[in-house]
Structure 1
């Protein structure tokens, strides 16, 4: 099947061809016709399966073919959990809509709001937003949502993880009652199904991958190592195997900074991205990583959500995540759209319990390796695990420590204050302590 067989307009087909795509992915083959039909949709697909195009293309077509109000109004609203994902979706809307006479814009926290207000004022067709900043601008009467025809909740599972459910409910209350709702999630958790039951009206359901599975194109392996030797082992693997583009995950912001600094001192160019970094610093690091100028990007889970890097060859879990589902999200950064990828996890004695939880979730045992010269001490005792996400880590590797506010936590988050968001709404952190302001994006001609 080709994109032309899905009933898309010539303008959209030209844009898709310009992006180098000819054959739709499974999620696109199912989602595009479902959205074009005008009904609600509940879709689950692994990251990297092309779901953004799966809702962007038919959304643009429905807007182009529907009646347009005299004054340009926001007719489609796309909500995302993080700044990076919002920017990525915004690029897709602009790229696929380049031959249509529609305007789109992206708004998120962490940057000054005035450029965003200036971009919204002349009128938009499509608004891509993170929940907190959208609510702020709406409450200040800078955003009119009364003409929204299509609502997209992208990465809905992560929005729930980050504690955005109350913000989402507030946004839903100001939208027109009659609209098309599209909910996309990496997993069909019980929480997602509960949200879908309240939000969606007799939706079409699409589940491309089995629940909580990992991509078959990703080669997954475990290296057992003592916690004190992880950094040396990582540097050794990168150098020995000549890895030129490596995305490395840590649990905490502090850990990401420290690891990036240590690798750089070993002549391995590395930078960290997390919720405490300014938007300009995050954008600069990601741009250098995408072009290959930066060898290693060290990231926390939330900062990395939504990263779209073509053919990323290597993902390393420097530390296993406290939440098993995050392992699936992490390694989903590689092996995208059918390309091969490698996911390596460095596991110390503290993390044996977390590893068992991951293997139970993905229903497979992962290959275990010991690198010569880095043999773990068989008598090592587990210690409490640092917590990078408040409130959901469960029991750490054999210690029985609760992840929320345990003594091993480096970020000191407690209870609802952390909400799984690095101590603030790192993906949508305009309500966090103010950082140095950078200029927002200008309005983009879609």
Structure 2
């Protein structure tokens, strides 16, 4: 099957071809026809499977055929983080570049001035984080009364991050008569209950089980005490000559501290987390993508939206308390059909987390051995 098999107009087909895509991924193959039919949808697929294009392409196709008013956006995409909002914006810009469609991305952490100026010039598609969206709406700087398509991207993370009340406020500001597209990498009961409360007779698609991790990702774990983790990480990076890796820590302070240790070991590294300014976060991500820094140390919230097709390596410096987060983390590698390696460090305090993760993914991680000398880094 190719993208030409879909009922998609020539400008979008040409944009897809320019990117070099020919065959849709499983989530795209199933979701695009449903969205084009006008139905609500629940799409469950792990990260890295082409989820963004699965809703951006058909949404743009439907939008191109509608009568549009510049001051009344028709499409609203809600995302949990700035990075993901920017990633979605890039996708809409990419596939809609040959259409007369305007999209504006809205997020906090920066001055609202530029975003307000863009809104004044008109927008068909709004891609936003909930807080800044509500802020601009409450200031009467954004009219949401014309929204007829609502897309919730990474809904599980939005709810985990406490956006449920903001989302409900947004729902009160947009028409009830709309198409709603609900995408999530995991679908625990509370997420499903919320989805069912806002969707109308949705079609559901599941690509890979909720707990699945990409089969092409090589996963392993080192049983190592907290005090030895930094030395072990430095040793692994140097001995295995790792040129690029995303390393996850639990806290912002922990991320900054780890970067200092890596730099002392002459390993280029930067941190990305919620306390960093948007400019600093974007620079770190850009430098990492360009290969100018070797290690990007991130917290879970900041890592949402990091989309690097050929990221070879992920390290869980600390195991997450929520097992589903492990699936999100390692999904940063093994994308677009590429292979990937995911290494985890597990201290004695984290053993229960490891047990829960293995139960969720249905497999036992390979335990790696290391010599005492390796720990001295």
Measure, in 2, the Cα distance between the counterparts of 1:29 and 1:97: 19
Measure, in 2, the Cα distance between the counterparts of 1:333 and 1:38: 31
- Are the counterparts in 2 of residues 233 and 374 from structure 1 also a CA contact under 8 Å? no
The residue number in structure 2 matching 1:101 is 100
Measure, in 1, the Cα distance between the counterparts of 2:275 and 2:90: 24
The residue number in structure 1 matching 2:7 is 7
Measure, in 1, the Cα distance between the counterparts of 2:95 and 2:293: 28
The residue number in structure 2 matching 1:75 is 74
Q: Does 1:52 align with 2:52?
A: yes
Specify every segment of 5 or more residues in structure 1 that has no aligned partner in the other structure, as ranges. 377-446
Q: Does 1:323 align with 2:322?
A: yes
Deviation of 1:344 after TM superposition, in Å, equals 0.2
Deviation of 1:20 after TM superposition, in Å, equals 1.7
The residue number in structure 1 matching 2:39 is 39
Measure, in 2, the Cα distance between the counterparts of 1:257 and 1:115: 30
Q: Does 1:151 align with 2:150?
A: yes
Deviation of 1:88 after TM superposition, in Å, equals 0.5
Measure, in 1, the Cα distance between the counterparts of 2:72 and 2:135: 19
Measure, in 1, the Cα distance between the counterparts of 2:298 and 2:242: 17
Question: What is the DSSP-based 3-state SS (H/G/I as helix, E as strand, rest coil) of the residue aligned with 2:372?
Answer: coil
Cα distance change, pair 55–374 in 1 and its aligned pair in 2 (3 A): farther
The residue number in structure 1 matching 2:125 is 126
The residue number in structure 1 matching 2:333 is 334
Extract structure 1 runs of 4+ deviating beyond 6 A: none
The residue number in structure 1 matching 2:236 is 237
Measure, in 2, the Cα distance between the counterparts of 1:31 and 1:257: 40
Measure, in 2, the Cα distance between the counterparts of 1:224 and 1:270: 24
Q: How many correspondences in the alignment?
A: 375
TM-score by length of 1: 0.83
Deviation of 1:373 after TM superposition, in Å, equals 2.2
Question: What is the DSSP-based 3-state SS (H/G/I as helix, E as strand, rest coil) of the residue aligned with 2:357?
Answer: helix
Measure, in 2, the Cα distance between the counterparts of 1:116 and 1:72: 14
The residue number in structure 2 matching 1:205 is 204
Deviation of 1:226 after TM superposition, in Å, equals 2.2
Measure, in 2, the Cα distance between the counterparts of 1:370 and 1:223: 7
Q: Does 1:263 align with 2:252?
A: no
Question: What is the DSSP-based 3-state SS (H/G/I as helix, E as strand, rest coil) of the residue aligned with 1:311?
Answer: coil
Specify every segment of 5 or more residues in structure 2 that has no aligned partner in the other structure, as ranges. none
Measure, in 1, the Cα distance between the counterparts of 2:5 and 2:206: 21
Question: What is the DSSP-based 3-state SS (H/G/I as helix, E as strand, rest coil) of the residue aligned with 2:38?
Answer: coil
Residues 83-136 of structure 1 show CA distances to partners (whole Å, capped at 9, x for unaligned) of 000010001110110000111010100000111111101210000000000000
Measure, in 1, the Cα distance between the counterparts of 2:171 and 2:72: 17
The residue number in structure 1 matching 2:308 is 309
Deviation of 1:68 after TM superposition, in Å, equals 2.7
- Are the counterparts in 2 of residues 334 and 342 from structure 1 also a CA contact under 8 Å? yes
Question: What is the DSSP-based 3-state SS (H/G/I as helix, E as strand, rest coil) of the residue aligned with 1:99?
Answer: coil
- Are the counterparts in 1 of residues 232 and 374 from structure 2 also a CA contact under 8 Å? no
Measure, in 2, the Cα distance between the counterparts of 1:215 and 1:323: 18
The residue correspondences of 1:223-234 to structure 2 (distance < 5 A) are: 223-234=222-233
Measure, in 2, the Cα distance between the counterparts of 1:36 and 1:179: 14
The residue correspondences of 1:17-416 to structure 2 (distance < 5 A) are: 17-69=17-69, 71-373=70-372
Residues 135-171 of structure 1 show CA distances to partners (whole Å, capped at 9, x for unaligned) of 0000000000111111000000000001111110111
Measure, in 2, the Cα distance between the counterparts of 1:23 and 1:179: 30
- Are the counterparts in 2 of residues 42 and 184 from structure 1 also a CA contact under 8 Å? yes
Measure, in 2, the Cα distance between the counterparts of 1:256 and 1:23: 39
Measure, in 2, the Cα distance between the counterparts of 1:72 and 1:81: 25
Question: What is the DSSP-based 3-state SS (H/G/I as helix, E as strand, rest coil) of the residue aligned with 2:336?
Answer: helix
Measure, in 2, the Cα distance between the counterparts of 1:374 and 1:75: 61
Measure, in 2, the Cα distance between the counterparts of 1:375 and 1:16: 47
TM-score by length of 2: 0.98
- Kindly report the root-mean-square deviation, in angstroms, between the aligned alpha carbons of the 2 structures: 1.1
Residues 48-98 of structure 1 show CA distances to partners (whole Å, capped at 9, x for unaligned) of 0000000000000000012334x4520000000000000100011101100
Cα distance change, pair 109–130 in 1 and its aligned pair in 2 (3 A): same
Measure, in 1, the Cα distance between the counterparts of 2:71 and 2:143: 11
Measure, in 2, the Cα distance between the counterparts of 1:29 and 1:344: 32
Question: What is the DSSP-based 3-state SS (H/G/I as helix, E as strand, rest coil) of the residue aligned with 1:90?
Answer: helix
Larger relative helix fraction:
2
Question: What is the DSSP-based 3-state SS (H/G/I as helix, E as strand, rest coil) of the residue aligned with 1:105?
Answer: strand
- Are the counterparts in 2 of residues 46 and 332 from structure 1 also a CA contact under 8 Å? yes
